[in-house]
């Protein structure tokens, strides 16, 4: 059985539960090709993931300009058009090459069995969350799924975390935010909630430790011994 005062675990999705970079990169490059712009390797695009679809598209567009001396800027209309193209391609590639990180499903099942309540808080568009977690047979594990467009603010704003607490009828003291990005850690701090940083995700190439999560782990399965040790 679960021990201690922590009852709810809030998880990021991309870079935390799921390595979605291969499919995101494929969709981004399809978008760039359709716009006759420069394409990039998967490793480069990995560094742009983590702050929602529109930001990912903006980063791709800004890096795709061949002649930097032109100081070219894309209008909001151009960005929104590119975003629509990207979302269309990504919907076709949701779970083609994306994979759960090692030990994620087994660990989530064990946490659920121990009595923890699980939720997803991601900056990914909400429309993609349900089909992704369903494809890995994870739907029944999560009581709540919040995307980057579910509310008027997204991480690193604390609103999604506070909203989750309200919906689940728990205090911030009863929750832990778990993610690979500084947005997860900053949102948790702003919500006065403890956090666990994961080193294996994206985080724009930055060391997650620099944002001072309460704990930091190198692999997902380390969650169980950490929770058992700290909250026993």
For this structure, is 23 an active site residue? no
- Please answer whether residues 213 and 232 qualify as being in contact, where contact means their C-beta atoms are separated by less than 8 angstroms: no
Catalytic residue, from 12, 14, 19, 184: name it. Answer: 12
- Six-digit token string for 90: 């990504």
| DSSP per-residue letters across the chain | ---SS--EEEE--BTTTEE-HHHHHHHHHHHHHHTT-----HHHHHTT-SS-HHHHHHHHHHH--S-GGG-----HHHHHHHHHHHHHHHHHSTTSS-EEPTTHHHHHHHHHHHT-EEEEE-SS-HHHHHHHHHHTT-GGGEEEEE-TTSSS--TTSSHHHHHHHHHHT--GGGEEEEESSHHHHHHHHHTT-EEEEETTS-GGG--GGGG--SEEESSGGGHHHHHHHH--
Using alpha carbons, list the distances in angstroms from residue 205 to 61, 94, 122, 200, 212.
Answer: 19, 23, 19, 10, 16
- Please answer whether residues 170 and 7 qualify as being in contact, where contact means their C-beta atoms are separated by less than 8 angstroms: yes
Task: Kindly list the catalytic residues.
Answer: 12
């Amino acid at each position: 059985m679960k021990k201690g005062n922590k009852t709810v675990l809030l998880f990021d999705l991309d870079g935390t539960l799921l390595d979605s970079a291969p499919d995101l990169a494929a969709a981004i490059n399809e978008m760039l090709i359709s716009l006759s712009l420069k394409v990039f390797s998967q490793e480069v695009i990995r560094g742009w993931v983590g702050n929602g679809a529109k930001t990912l598209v903006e980063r791709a567009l800004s890096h795709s300009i061949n002649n930097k001396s032109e100081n070219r800027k894309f209008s909001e209309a151009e960005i929104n058009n590119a975003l629509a193209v990207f979302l269309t391609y990504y919907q076709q590639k949701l779970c083609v090459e994306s994979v759960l990180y090692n030990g994620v499903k087994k660990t989530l099942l064990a946490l659920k069995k121990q009595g923890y309540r699980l939720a997803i808080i991601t900056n990914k568009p909400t429309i993609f969350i349900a089909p992704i977690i369903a494809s890995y047979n994870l739907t029944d594990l999560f009581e709540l799924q919040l995307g980057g467009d579910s509310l008027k603010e997204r991480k690193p704003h604390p609103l999604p975390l506070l909203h989750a607490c309200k919906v689940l009828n728990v205090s911030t003291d009863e929750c832990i935010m778990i993610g690979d990005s500084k947005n997860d850690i900053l949102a948790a701090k702003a919500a006065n909630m403890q956090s666990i940083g994961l080193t294996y995700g994206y985080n724009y190439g930055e060391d997650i430790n620099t944002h001072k999560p309460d704990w930091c782990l190198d692999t997902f399965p380390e969650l169980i011994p950490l929770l058992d040790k700290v909250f026993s």
